[in-house]
A and B are shown apart, each in its own frame.
Chain A
Amino acid sequence: MTTAIAEVPSVRTSNAPASQTMWTPFNARDEGQRLFKEWYASLEQANERKEPVANVFVMGNAIEILRSFDFHMVFPEINSLQTGVRKTSAEFIRVSEDYGMSPDVCSYVKADMGMMLKEEEHPTGKIPRPDITVSSNMCGTFIKWAEIWERRYKMPSFVLDLPGQRTSNWVVRPGDAQHSADSRWVEDQFKDLIAKCEKITGKRFDIDRLAEIQGRVNQMVIHWNNVMELNRVCPAPYNAMLDGLTYIGIMNVYRGTVEGVEFMRRLEEDIRAKVARGEGRVPEERFRLLFSGTPCYVSMRRLVELFESWGGVFAYSDYLTFAAGGMDAAELLYDTSRPLESLAEVTALAAQRGLSNQFFAHERMEKQIHDYGVDGVVFHGIKSCRFVSAGMADTRDYISKRLGIPTLYIESDLIDPRYWSDAQIKNRVDAFFEALQQRVGAGPMRGREVPTGTGGPL
């Protein structure tokens, strides 16, 4: 295998660079909601129309291959979080616990199980039954979840095994021996997956189609990386844990599509315009924060409100990296002249730099604290998600004691409302800000010195 991979250019432009197009009004939230509605609507009749359906996850999913076979993509994590956003998760969880599921397992899985027991009726409409599932080993629960589908739907579950970060200070560079060995294994699995897709769909694999999809992913990644970087300025133009959730949803669901490229292009354009106008997410940005973990979707707006009421904005969240497939962390683009090899190489690198490095979270967090010029780190421990949470308290101890960065640890759940304790969380947030205020001062950030590497025009 050759290893020439296109690196993300230092001057980042896609085929339709955001900075060179005419600015038109763009409301990312409204446009995101419209696209989500369209996506759910497209799923409703998929089974009846005998169109192939794949269940996939946000980390390690081979969407590019599946899309080249015209699979409809169902994201069960997104279905489950949507039950939280729509305040219906408690009922789905109750149904699955009545069936026998433990209170101590992932609430996303339980909401999905509840939905299956309700004959796939979801608040957004009917969710089609899959013809195949692709689950990576990046989260152990993905595999157990897929085994549940295997039992229910009697269809193949393909586990995409991605070799992750093995040790601390793990350095892997494109083309080195370790990366080549890992990429070769990933490529073997892609070939196996392709054979399965051909069998399910009756279509031959079209490598040109794959390259075309990869080209669009490349454009999306360029815009995505720029969007992330634009939040390094002060004031931050968006809140990573509120606005960012819409962006990430489109990044996943519309990955490799024309609509996805257009959304990301316009998003970058819109945010760039906000930066040019000096427009921040909060009127008087006083504290820049990093959010580690996933949100509590049943109290998502409330969570953000608790912080924004103090002038705190989440400038970055590791969620935006690992839940977008780690593409930004890979710092690579697909080489569309070698589609399959390049897909394996980038996937292997993204798994190590942007997904499995969650298990060594302190390493990248140190860099992000600097890059985004944050005053403090908020850790959100999720009761039913060990991928996010099992090492979090220890990481917090490291960040606080070794780096001297103020931290806050709060605990609730992804979508189980029983674990959201509003008064307790508010007390902790308030106490955190009081301490932070003493440390960095009470005035607005604007005009305050921003750490080197942040705040400048991009």
Chain B
Amino acid sequence: MSAEIAHDYEASFTAILEQCHTAAIDAGIPDSHSLPEGFSGTLGYFPVYFPDEIAHAAGLLSVNILGGGNKLEMKHADARMGSFVCSICRSTTELGLNGTLQSLSAFVTHPICDAAKHLAGIWSRNLPDQGAEILYLPQNPNTPGAARYVAAEYQRLRAELARKVGHPISDAAIRASTRLYNKKRRLMRDLYQIRRDEPWKLSCSESYMLVRAGTRISCEQHIELLEQALDAIRHRHIVAQDKPRVLFVGGFCEQPPLEMLETIDDVCFVVDDDLLIGQRWLTEDVPEDAGDPVWALAESYIQRSNASPVQHDERKPKDQYLMAMLNAAKADAVILTAAKFCEPGLDDQLFWSKDLDEAGVQYLVLEFEEKMTSFEQMSMQVETFAESLLFALA
């Protein structure tokens, strides 16, 4: 009887993952005919973080533009961006120029790096009607007044989106959106708790697809999907294999191909990662009944947020937050990745390797591109790494 139930949960989890894959990878950007109920348009944003609550309250479906993956044919962007620019910026440009993103009502990028900022200029020259903009999230969250500045920037965004949708965005609407997104964030924290506590029940690639689906579907749909998934995962009966516990870093902006994550899953338990870190940027609930809901979002961004190579914060030196992640996840080792031509990622990759040398923690250095299609060599490297870890830990 219990075996039969387990089988049902497994089947339903498989169906959920397929649904996620369809939403996150296969389906295009929703147009006016395929928008979920209650939305009047879409807002596309480049990684890492965007305050989805404000778009949601405006009735805009916020979509995280995560590049073109490894199946996109480049026809336009190669002539518009130097060969030394990272894949995600080039493929995002391609998606803009080839019409894939034409249904977006707005496009927002951030000062995470210089190539990302240039996307706003490229958009303004080629897709002027979409009104691209840079949301200037601060690289100094430490000076008193940072939250006030972020709140002012959010209010500017709010006014801009209100102009686009043709109606004001009320405080009540933002509070309601905040409640929803808090729930979604709690569910994602539950997913990662399972990864740390019982990693055999949820692989890195599975968890990644569950989170990534939320970059394309509404918050309401994502909550429903995550609740079903968590229920299924908790009922999974999977025997833990003998695999090393590793931390994966380097996936904060350009996304590694799914095949790469599956390759690592084959031989390691990835007990924590920074994949799609922007979706999990706020680490605690945003106050839901605050007098000013925009202030609540801004203050949360400054005071209760995650870390990444593209956010400077003197409270979170890069070496210390990596070690904190490692210890919290009880990981044995680290897979240090960086996207090719990603300057912030490549810089941190090197200095993290020095930190780990000093701390006596084993690590594997990998460089990836979203457009990679061959994984044989990487698979061999990862297998060898995992074997050496098991040998060392035995």
Residue of B nearest to A397 (CB): B80
The residue from A105, A141, A386 contacting B118, defined by CB atoms under 8 A apart: A386
Interface string of B336-373 (1 = CB under 8 A from A): 00101101101111110110000000000000000000
| Nearest CB on A from B207, distance (A) | 29
* B residues near A395, Cβ cutoff 8 Å: 121, 125
Give A380 to B111 CA distance when docked, in angstroms: 23
Give A140 to B146 CA distance when docked, in angstroms: 19
The residue from A144, A166, A192 contacting B344, defined by CB atoms under 8 A apart: A144
* A residues near B347, Cβ cutoff 8 Å: 101-102, 105, 109, 144, 147-148
Residue of A nearest to B319 (CB): A151
**A137 near B111 (CB under 8 angstroms)?**
yes
Contacting residues of chain B (92-151) with chain A, CB-CB under 8 angstroms? 93, 111-115, 117-118, 120-122, 124-126, 128, 131-136, 138-140, 142-146, 148-149
Instruction: State which of A155-163, A270-278, A432-440 sits at the interface with chain B.
Output: A155-163
**A356 near B117 (CB under 8 angstroms)?**
yes
* A residues near B341, Cβ cutoff 8 Å: 104
The residue from B115, B121, B135 contacting A360, defined by CB atoms under 8 A apart: B121
Instruction: State which of A181-189, A244-252, A370-378 sits at the interface with chain B.
Output: A181-189
Give A397 to B344 CA distance when docked, in angstroms: 28
Residue of A nearest to B139 (CB): A137
**A394 near B81 (CB under 8 angstroms)?**
yes
**A163 near B136 (CB under 8 angstroms)?**
yes
Interface residues on chain A, size class: 35 or more
* A residues near B81, Cβ cutoff 8 Å: 390-391, 393-394
The residue from A157, A188, A356 contacting B145, defined by CB atoms under 8 A apart: A188
Asked if B392 lies at the interface with its beta carbon under 8 angstroms from chain A, I say: no
**A389 near B82 (CB under 8 angstroms)?**
yes
**A389 near B156 (CB under 8 angstroms)?**
no
Instruction: State which of B66-74, B237-245, B309-317, B379-387 sits at the interface with chain A.
Output: B309-317
Give A361 to B118 CA distance when docked, in angstroms: 9
Give A156 to B153 CA distance when docked, in angstroms: 27
Asked if B84 lies at the interface with its beta carbon under 8 angstroms from chain A, I say: yes
**A140 near B350 (CB under 8 angstroms)?**
no
**A101 near B80 (CB under 8 angstroms)?**
no
* B residues near A147, Cβ cutoff 8 Å: 312, 318, 347, 351
Give A15 to B136 CA distance when docked, in angstroms: 38
Contacting residues of chain A (161-181) with chain B, CB-CB under 8 angstroms? 161, 163-168, 178, 181
* Contacts A143-B312, A361-B121, A393-B81; A104 near B343 (Cβ below 8 A): yes
**A140 near B152 (CB under 8 angstroms)?**
no
| Nearest CB on B from A196, distance (A) | 10
* A residues near B319, Cβ cutoff 8 Å: 151
Residue of B nearest to A188 (CB): B145
| Nearest CB on A from B74, distance (A) | 13
Give A100 to B363 CA distance when docked, in angstroms: 15
* A residues near B353, Cβ cutoff 8 Å: 100
**A185 near B139 (CB under 8 angstroms)?**
no
Asked if B1 lies at the interface with its beta carbon under 8 angstroms from chain A, I say: no
* B residues near A101, Cβ cutoff 8 Å: 346-347, 350
Interface of A (DSSP majority class): helix
* Contacts A359-B117, A386-B115, A389-B84; A140 near B344 (Cβ below 8 A): yes
| Nearest CB on B from A103, distance (A) | 9
* Contacts A167-B131, A390-B85, A411-B82; A144 near B343 (Cβ below 8 A): yes
**A166 near B114 (CB under 8 angstroms)?**
no
Give A148 to B143 CA distance when docked, in angstroms: 21
The residue from A146, A151, A163 contacting B153, defined by CB atoms under 8 A apart: A163
Asked if A362 lies at the interface with its beta carbon under 8 angstroms from chain B, I say: yes
Asked if B27 lies at the interface with its beta carbon under 8 angstroms from chain A, I say: no
**A104 near B340 (CB under 8 angstroms)?**
yes
Give A181 to B148 CA distance when docked, in angstroms: 9
Residue of A nearest to B78 (CB): A393
Give A136 to B343 CA distance when docked, in angstroms: 17
* B residues near A139, Cβ cutoff 8 Å: 114
Most buried by A among B80, B128, B132, B348: B80
Asked if B3 lies at the interface with its beta carbon under 8 angstroms from chain A, I say: no
**B114 near A140 (CB under 8 angstroms)?**
yes
The residue from A100, A161, A166 contacting B350, defined by CB atoms under 8 A apart: A100
**A161 near B126 (CB under 8 angstroms)?**
no
Asked if B89 lies at the interface with its beta carbon under 8 angstroms from chain A, I say: yes
* A residues near B145, Cβ cutoff 8 Å: 184-185, 188-189
Give A148 to B312 CA distance when docked, in angstroms: 12
Asked if A150 lies at the interface with its beta carbon under 8 angstroms from chain B, I say: yes
The residue from A109, A159, A185 contacting B149, defined by CB atoms under 8 A apart: A185
**A167 near B126 (CB under 8 angstroms)?**
no
**A386 near B343 (CB under 8 angstroms)?**
yes
Give A387 to B117 CA distance when docked, in angstroms: 9
* A residues near B125, Cβ cutoff 8 Å: 168, 362, 394-395, 397-398
Give A362 to B118 CA distance when docked, in angstroms: 12
The residue from A161, A356, A386 contacting B138, defined by CB atoms under 8 A apart: A161
**A166 near B143 (CB under 8 angstroms)?**
no
Give A168 to B128 CA distance when docked, in angstroms: 9
Asked if B393 lies at the interface with its beta carbon under 8 angstroms from chain A, I say: no
* Contacts A178-B156, A393-B82, A394-B126; A156 near B350 (Cβ below 8 A): no
Asked if A106 lies at the interface with its beta carbon under 8 angstroms from chain B, I say: yes
The residue from A100, A166, A361, A398 contacting B134, defined by CB atoms under 8 A apart: A166
| Nearest CB on A from B105, distance (A) | 15
| Nearest CB on B from A153, distance (A) | 13
Give A398 to B123 CA distance when docked, in angstroms: 12
* Contacts A166-B136, A168-B124, A188-B145; A390 near B310 (Cβ below 8 A): no
**A386 near B80 (CB under 8 angstroms)?**
no
* B residues near A157, Cβ cutoff 8 Å: 312, 314
The residue from B89, B118, B131, B350 contacting A102, defined by CB atoms under 8 A apart: B350
Interface string of A391-403 (1 = CB under 8 A from B): 1111101100000
**A359 near B343 (CB under 8 angstroms)?**
no
Asked if B394 lies at the interface with its beta carbon under 8 angstroms from chain A, I say: no
**A181 near B82 (CB under 8 angstroms)?**
no
**A156 near B82 (CB under 8 angstroms)?**
no
* Contacts A104-B341, A141-B343; A359 near B136 (Cβ below 8 A): no
The residue from A100, A140, A387, A393 contacting B79, defined by CB atoms under 8 A apart: A393
Give A6 to B267 CA distance when docked, in angstroms: 66
Interface string of B18-34 (1 = CB under 8 A from A): 00000000000000000
Q: A104-B84, A163-B136 are in contact. List 12 more A-B contacts (CB 8 A).
A: A140-B117, A147-B347, A148-B347, A159-B312, A161-B138, A161-B139, A167-B124, A178-B156, A184-B149, A386-B343, A387-B114, A391-B118
- 9 smallest CB-CB distances across A and B, nearest first, come from A188-B145, A168-B124, A391-B118, A161-B140, A185-B149, A386-B114, A390-B118, A137-B139, A394-B80
B→A interface (CB under 8 Å): 79-82, 84-85, 89, 93, 111-115, 117-118, 120-122, 124-126, 128, 131-136, 138-140, 142-146, 148-149, 152-153, 156, 309-310, 312, 314, 317-319, 338, 340-341, 343-344, 346-351, 353-354
**29 A–B contacts, CB within 8 A, in A order:** A99-B350, A102-B350, A104-B343, A105-B343, A137-B111, A140-B112, A140-B117, A144-B309, A144-B343, A144-B348, A161-B138, A161-B149, A164-B111, A166-B133, A166-B136, A167-B120, A167-B133, A168-B124, A168-B125, A185-B145, A188-B143, A188-B144, A188-B148, A356-B117, A359-B114, A359-B121, A394-B93, A394-B125, A398-B125
A→B interface (CB under 8 Å): 99-102, 104-106, 109, 137, 139-141, 143-144, 146-148, 150-151, 156-161, 163-168, 178, 181, 184-185, 188-189, 192, 356, 359-362, 381, 383-384, 386-387, 389-395, 397-398, 411
